[in-house]
Structure 1
């Protein structure tokens, strides 16, 4: 068989057919994975394609089949280890099913999310997996369905949309860790999150637009009220979006006469900054401050003390979201499904009874 053509030459189906000694239609059936041909012909066509370094024209194929073989993914913050692990789960599952992944980062900005979805739809992705920035703004998500594409929500449920969703048991996990701290004697427990309001104050659950965080705060407050603490809302601190904002929050928390004896961080990026700030302020952990965070980031196990975490099945969340989307793309017709995966509390050395 001839050598591969120059890399500057675009190899066509006709070139492969000519080298294999078959018709263009036969070569197209083999390369497109449809129709019936003999094993001998299939091997000859694939050998010719390999020799010529044939690369399929994805746009032409999508126009012919109506499918691009790609999945669009929009997440809140790709620098957050949570989303990095979830995307890995999505990519591995997609690859095993023959799909490519196109990733977009919203930065938790609904306008950026809207633009990303518009771009992905224009690129003819077959379906989308989205971790929505705001539960209350869904028109652009509804557009996905109107475009004829399937949508799966990752980590953040919006029941009113009526689409497949994969989440962790956030509310139950938050209740469990709050009760753990309460059982150790803590009564001044802060919950710190990147979610925010215009005046940076939390008043009620509807203030929080990220569904997973809203459920955690609801679980946190419910557990406190069950223990007879009526002012849990005042311990919810919002706007921990950057190191500077977390530093400002920490200065307020640590500088207060009734500083919290325990803090629950909504993610590991917040927890890491709080850990460093407590250390730099000379606050002994866990004697003067207990710390607990959602997401079992690698660093949490190697600090002194190691940090207690809610281990979320992050990779599995991504894997399950991709599986559900691929099932829809393969024709599964069923009512919207909501898969809830369990979390696990990993207790380490960062929590202890309060010293005061």
Structure 2
């Protein structure tokens, strides 16, 4: 059977206009998502486009509208289930709004983050969502602001930037879980994070360059002070930025004469290593050691015992960041907005009373 001319080659806007019985300019407005047309005409053009299997020429549309139809996203670790779920939230919102997502991984390295953003800008993305690797080094993010592209921050804030920001109530969550442990009699409570320092030792909150983690440690130490626990900074461990490093840190802590009776893991990747090392050393949860982890990763509910977690609204964080960015792309103006989403403590069986030898 002989193919029609429209189907034998790439379908053009003119083909769609002819099929719908409208002008080429009207069809272009509907297909490009700009300008105003009646609902009846819009439906006719969309029906014609579907019938002809019209595929937009992205380059041509970019030259016409000034938009690429893409959003750039830069996160710290795409292998971390936290970021994977957040990106899912971003892409779901972006897709419904007609945008594709280009994802980059910084590895929590500022230099890599800067390189990723340069690449995204070169690709002419319409807007960017970033989880800043270092709150104090954001000049490259200010460049995004100055370029006229909207910028939204995911999970981490930067006070020097007047941009839309979506975070969780990390400080209150840390206060809550520390209070839970103190209420069960724990006094030697360790907090382990992937953030690191030059000498691999935590000295003060100023050492922590990741905003979300600093809020958690601040909440943890605040709850300790409220309970009159002193020198708790010594129980904060930094540098758990790989399974090997985490294993080394946890092994040293749990084999020491003054081992912690409870551990708070700053993310589920660290929490998993704590669980594995404790099991390897023959320690029983929660009789010998209590464990709490940030992020309700799948594994935390199927271990024996299941692990108490801070359930973070991870998917919703991504959704909200993408929604704010799309609103900016659609003309929203004004000061940067700040959304704080609530976490939830899920108590499982990994937390118990402090053992007499660890109280």
TM-score range, shorter chain: over 0.9
Give the 3 Å change call, closer, same or farther, for CA 12–261 of structure 1 in structure 2: same
Cα-to-partner distance string for 1:287-321 (whole Å, 9 max, x where unaligned)? 01000000011111111111000111111111111
Contact 1:4 1:51 in 2 (8 A): no
Task: Give the whole-Å Cα distance in 1 for the aligned partners of 2:134 and 2:199.
Answer: 17
Cα-to-partner distance string for 1:168-197 (whole Å, 9 max, x where unaligned)? 011111111111111111111100111111
Q: Which residue of the partner structure matches residue 159 of structure 1?
A: 159
Cα-to-partner distance string for 1:214-244 (whole Å, 9 max, x where unaligned)? 1111111111122222211111111111111
Q: Please report how far the alpha carbon of residue 18 of structure 1 lies from its aligned counterpart in structure 2 after TM superposition.
A: 5.1
Give the 3 Å change call, closer, same or farther, for CA 53–147 of structure 1 in structure 2: same
Give the 3 Å change call, closer, same or farther, for CA 320–182 of structure 1 in structure 2: same
Q: Which residue of the partner structure matches residue 270 of structure 2?
A: 270
Task: Give the whole-Å Cα distance in 2 for the aligned partners of 1:182 and 1:292.
Answer: 13
TM-score by length of 1: 0.93
Contact 1:3 1:52 in 2 (8 A): no
Contact 2:295 2:311 in 1 (8 A): yes
Q: Which residue of the partner structure matches residue 317 of structure 1?
A: 317
Q: Please report how far the alpha carbon of residue 284 of structure 1 lies from its aligned counterpart in structure 2 after TM superposition.
A: 1.0
SS at match of 2:7: coil
Q: Please report how far the alpha carbon of residue 35 of structure 1 lies from its aligned counterpart in structure 2 after TM superposition.
A: 4.2
Task: Give the whole-Å Cα distance in 1 for the aligned partners of 2:251 and 2:33.
Answer: 62
Q: Which residue of the partner structure matches residue 112 of structure 2?
A: 112
Give the 3 Å change call, closer, same or farther, for CA 162–304 of structure 1 in structure 2: same
Greater Cα shift, 43-52 or 121-130: 43-52
Contact 1:187 1:229 in 2 (8 A): yes
Task: Give the whole-Å Cα distance in 2 for the aligned partners of 1:122 and 1:57.
Answer: 19
Task: Give the whole-Å Cα distance in 1 for the aligned partners of 2:326 and 2:42.
Answer: 26
4+ runs of 1 displaced by more than 6 Å? none
Give the 3 Å change call, closer, same or farther, for CA 165–30 of structure 1 in structure 2: closer
Task: Give the whole-Å Cα distance in 2 for the aligned partners of 1:245 and 1:195.
Answer: 12
TM-score by length of 2: 0.93
Greater Cα shift, 36-45 or 267-276: 36-45
Greater Cα shift, 95-104 or 341-350: 95-104
Q: Which residue of the partner structure matches residue 5 of structure 1?
A: 7
Give the 3 Å change call, closer, same or farther, for CA 119–108 of structure 1 in structure 2: same
Greater Cα shift, 272-281 or 115-124: 115-124
Task: Give the whole-Å Cα distance in 2 for the aligned partners of 1:39 and 1:75.
Answer: 39
Greater Cα shift, 120-129 or 18-27: 18-27
Unpaired stretches in structure 1, ≥5 consecutive residues? none
Task: Give the whole-Å Cα distance in 2 for the aligned partners of 1:188 and 1:118.
Answer: 45
Q: Which residue of the partner structure matches residue 179 of structure 1?
A: 179
Q: Which residue of the partner structure matches residue 209 of structure 2?
A: 209
Task: Give the whole-Å Cα distance in 2 for the aligned partners of 1:211 and 1:43.
Answer: 47
Q: How many residues matched?
A: 354
Contact 2:6 2:15 in 1 (8 A): no
Task: Give the whole-Å Cα distance in 2 for the aligned partners of 1:30 and 1:171.
Answer: 47
Alignment of 1:9-24 (within 5 A): 9-17=9-17, 23-24=23-24
Contact 1:104 1:116 in 2 (8 A): yes
Q: Which residue of the partner structure matches residue 347 of structure 2?
A: 347
